[in-house]
């Protein structure tokens, strides 16, 4: 074997030298490039060859000796030890879970999980607002205001930045009819963290959760973290079918999207809301109300939140800034009955603790100074135009191929499509440069209606035209 040349070890002088030399020698020993018994050049020569100080070399050699990789040999300098520390001889390239120590039961379930790809926001990717319409100038001005504030660089409150909770209290009361004070709000890392916290605090392993079918996959994912079973409640014309709520509920939690059923739309009428709340109170159940996009209704004024109507039922109300501002902010909120706050905050601490303070401070002012309401108003008009355009295109070009679900509106359009595999259809559409979600993915059972859900908020006119024309070609072949 050719003698190893130490001079070839690359050293980046802009980074700390000792850790580089340590990891370079260690990986070469582990990879067998410096086999047991190999003698190292003298420290002086090594330092010359590598272009580092002799002191650096001596420190690294001492460390590798202490770790059991090198040894001093009387009269012949330093050499690679003949017996290396157990398990360090060759780095194993783990190819599958099989050879690793066992995972938890939840981990095992997730290791077979079919991931949703979020590689990029393509036109029609679901859940993405119009990213170009974001009021950057205002945002940057507010951000500059808070950027250098030292209190925002440390820790404050796991529950969330007080001024943001105050701003939200006012907004939620006036816009959504949510009755709460700032002490009841917990700021979360998106609605997804709110769901994860509820799963952790309200469910035991293998409990059953009642939820709408079709419904939000992110909620199912959160509940799966407790290995939950699902009891699917079907939909009526306007959201969850309250006549299908079980007389003997199989669990203690119902997840619902009453203000705008996800993904098919529909606003649950007031009488049905009262019936649902009464049913939940009678059976002592928790209700999670996900108010994910109530801000974007075009044809009907959104009804006030279930939370505000609930007198006897413990409703956990959640919302998100993902659609009203943008998803990468990762900001959401949970409004809960007061006695539950300390428990949920403790769970939040365990799951990551504080939400970034600078973002919270900016959003607090953004709401308090009226920018949020103005932005929502603009977006509502913009999305309505996009929606009208998309509906017209679908009616004109996909007649007989796809049935649009008119009430889905908001930021997406659900299309019912008879096809062999909507997953395949979505993948071909993706191949043409367009995002979408197969409708079947919204069914917990995996056996639902087939179709595509198209997020239109982040599309341009030309993209909508091209996308629908691509679908006109793809659907007959699917
Ligand atoms: C029904 C529903 N709930 C919640 C969310 C928001 O999740 P997050 O705030 O974690 O982005 C979404 C986003 O797509 C959603 O569709």
CATH number of the domain residue 419 falls in: 3.90.1150.10
Asked if the peptide bond before residue 136 counts as cis, ω within 30 degrees of 0, the response is no
Tell me, yes or no, whether 350 and 460 share the same domain. no
The last residue of one of the domains, among 313, 343, 370, is 370
C-alpha of residue 42 to centroid of ligand 1, in Å: 62
Total domain count, the chain: 3
Residues 276 and 201 in one domain: yes
**Distance from Cα 406 to the centre of ligand 1, integer Å:** 21
Ligand 1 atom nearest 191 alpha carbon? 9
The structure tokens 């939950």 sit at: 228
Q: How far apart are CA 372 and CA 140, in angstroms?
A: 14
How would you write 226-281 as a 3-class SS string?
Answer: CCCEEEEECEECCEECHHHCCCCCCCCEEEECCCCCCCCCCCCCHHHHHHHHHHHH
Dihedral, 7, 10, 11, 12 alpha carbons, nearest 10 = 150
Quick check: is 200 in a domain? yes
Residue 346 and residue 403 share a domain: no
Domain ends where: 337, 370, 403? 370
CA–centroid distance, 220 to ligand 1, in Å, is: 12
56 C-beta closer than 6 A to ligand 1: no
Give yes or no: residues 384 and 360 share one domain. no
User: For the CA atoms of 199, 204, 209, 214, what is the dihedral angle to 10 degrees?
Assistant: 50
Tokens standing for residue 394: 């679908």
CB 429 within 8 A of CB 288: no
Determine the residue of 128, 240, 320, 321 to mutate for testing ligand 1's pocket, defined as the one with the most ligand atoms within 8 A of the Cβ atom: 320
CA 442–ligand 1 middle distance (angstroms):
13
CA distances from 207 to 110, 186, 286, 287 (A): 18, 24, 13, 15
Same domain, residue pair 338 and 397? no
Are 295 and 376 spatial neighbours (Cβ–Cβ below 8 Å)? yes
Verify that 297 and 163 share a domain, yes or no: yes
Residue 91 lies in a domain: no
Q: Within 10 A of 431 (CB to CB), how many other CB atoms are there?
A: 10
Q: What is the DSSP letter of 112?
A: T
How many C-beta atoms surround the C-beta of residue 378 within 10 A? 13
Determine whether 382 is exposed, middle or buried from the number of CB atoms within 10 Å of its CB (0-12, 13-18, 19+).
Answer: middle
C-alpha of residue 332 to centroid of ligand 1, in Å: 9
On whether residue 99 sits in a domain, the answer given is no
Write the DSSP string, 45-95.
Answer: HHHHHHTS-HHHHHHHHHHHHHTTSEEEETTTEEEE-SSPPTT-SS-----
Domain contains 1: no
Residues 235 and 296 in one domain: yes
CATH number at residue 301: 3.40.640.10
CATH code (residue 14): 1.10.10.10
Mean pLDDT (10-residue bins), the chain, 478 residues: 77 84 87 87 92 92 91 89 68 63 86 66 94 97 96 93 97 94 97 97 97 96 95 94 97 96 93 96 97 78 86 94 96 97 97 95 98 96 96 96 87 95 94 94 87 97 98 93
Q: Give yes or no for a contact between 124 and 456, defined as CB atoms under 8 angstroms apart.
A: yes
C-alpha–C-alpha distance, residues 138 and 428, integer Å = 39
Which one of 370, 388, 418 terminates a domain?
370
Residue nearest to atom 3 of ligand 1 (CA): 292
Evaluate whether residue 109 is within a structural domain: no
170: tokens are 């006012």
Give the β-pairing of 229-233 and 451-455: unpaired
- Where helices occur in 262-340 by DSSP H, the ranges are 270-282, 306-309
What single-letter DSSP state applies at residue 3?
Answer: P
Q: Is 22 among the domain residues?
A: yes
Residue 87 lies in a domain: no
Mutate to test the pocket of ligand 1, among 127, 351, 359 (most ligand atoms within 8 A of CB): 127
Predicted TM-score (pTM) of this structure: 0.81
| DSSP sequence for 139-175 | HHHHHHHHHT-GGGTS---TT--HHHHHHHHHHHHHH
Residues 271 and 410 in one domain: no
- Do 224 and 284 lie in one domain? The reply is yes
Residues 471, 449 within the same domain: yes
The minimum-distance atom of ligand 1 relative to the CA of 321 is 9
- Is the minimum distance from the CB of 135 to ligand 1 under 6 angstroms? no
Candidate from 215, 239, 292 with most ligand 1 atoms within 8 A of CB, to mutate:
292
Q: Are residues 355 and 406 in the same domain?
A: no
pLDDT in the model for residue 242: 97
Together in a domain, 251 and 290: yes
Encode pLDDT of 168-204 as tens digits: 999 999 999 999 999 999 999 999 999 999 999 999 9
Is the residue at 102 inside a domain?
Answer: no
For 152, 280, 326, 357, 367, the CA distances from 145, given in Å and listed in that order, are: 12, 46, 21, 13, 15
Q: What is the pLDDT of residue 211?
A: 97
The parent domain of residue 76 ranges over 6-80
Would you say 36 and 84 are in contact if contact means Cβ atoms under 8 Å apart? yes
Query: Is 315 within 8 Å of 307 (Cβ atoms)?
Result: yes
CB 196 within 8 A of CB 180: no
């Amino acid at each position: 074997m050719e003698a190893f040349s130490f001079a070839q070890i690359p050293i980046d002088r802009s980074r700390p030298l000792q850790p580089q030399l340590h990891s370079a020698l260690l990986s070469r020993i582990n990879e067998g490039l410096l086999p047991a018994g190999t003698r190292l050049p003298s420290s002086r020569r090594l330092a010359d060859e590598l272009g580092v100080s002799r002191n650096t070399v001596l420190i690294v050699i001492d460390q590798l000796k202490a770790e059991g990789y090198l040894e001093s040999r009387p009269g012949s300098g330093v050499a690679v030890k003949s017996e290396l520390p157990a398990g360090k001889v060759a780095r194993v390239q783990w190819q599958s879970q099989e050879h690793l120590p066992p995972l938890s039961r939840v981990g095992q379930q997730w290791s077979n999980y079919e991931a949703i790809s979020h590689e990029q926001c393509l036109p029609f990717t679901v859940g993405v607002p119009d990213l170009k319409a974001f009021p950057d100038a205002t945002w940057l001005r507010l951000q500059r205001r808070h950027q250098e504030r030292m209190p925002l660089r440390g820790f404050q409150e796991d529950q969330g930045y007080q001024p943001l909770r105050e701003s939200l209290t006012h907004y939620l009361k006036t816009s959504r009819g949510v009755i709460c004070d700032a002490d009841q709000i917990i700021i979360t890392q998106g609605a997804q963290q709110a769901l994860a916290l509820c799963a952790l605090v309200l469910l035991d392993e293998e409990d059953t959760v009642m939820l709408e079918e079709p419904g939000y996959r992110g909620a199912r994912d959160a509940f799966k973290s407790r290995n939950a079973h699902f009891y699917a409640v079907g939909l009526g014309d306007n959201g969850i079918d309250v006549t299908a709520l079980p007389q003997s509920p199989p669990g203690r939690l119902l997840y619902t999207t009453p203000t705008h059923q996800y993904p098919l739309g529909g606003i649950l009428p007031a009488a049905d809301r009262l019936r649902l709340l009464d049913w939940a109170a009678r059976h002592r159940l928790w209700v999670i109300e996900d108010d994910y996009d109530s801000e974007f209704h075009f044809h009907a004024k959104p009804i006030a939140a279930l939370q505000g109507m609930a007198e006897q039922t413990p409703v956990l109300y959640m919302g998100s800034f993902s659609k009203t501002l943008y998803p990468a902010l990762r900001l959401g909120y949970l409004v809960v009955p007061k006695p539950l706050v300390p428990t949920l905050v403790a769970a939040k601490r365990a799951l990551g603790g504080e939400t970034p303070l600078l973002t919270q401070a900016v959003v607090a002012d953004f709401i308090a100074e009226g920018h949020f309401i103005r932005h929502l108003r603009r977006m509502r008009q913009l999305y309505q135009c996009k929606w009208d355009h998309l509906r017209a295109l679908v009616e004109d070009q996909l007649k007989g191929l796809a049935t649009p679900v008119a009430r889905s509106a908001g930021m997406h359009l659900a299309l019912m499509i008879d096809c062999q595999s909507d997953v395949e259809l979505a993948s071909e559409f993706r191949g043409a440069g367009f995002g979408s979600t197969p409708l079947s993915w919204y069914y917990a059972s995996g056996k639902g209606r087939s179709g595509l859900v198209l997020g239109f908020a982040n599309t341009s006119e030309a993209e909508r035209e091209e996308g629908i024309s691509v679908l006109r070609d793809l659907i007959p072949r699917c």
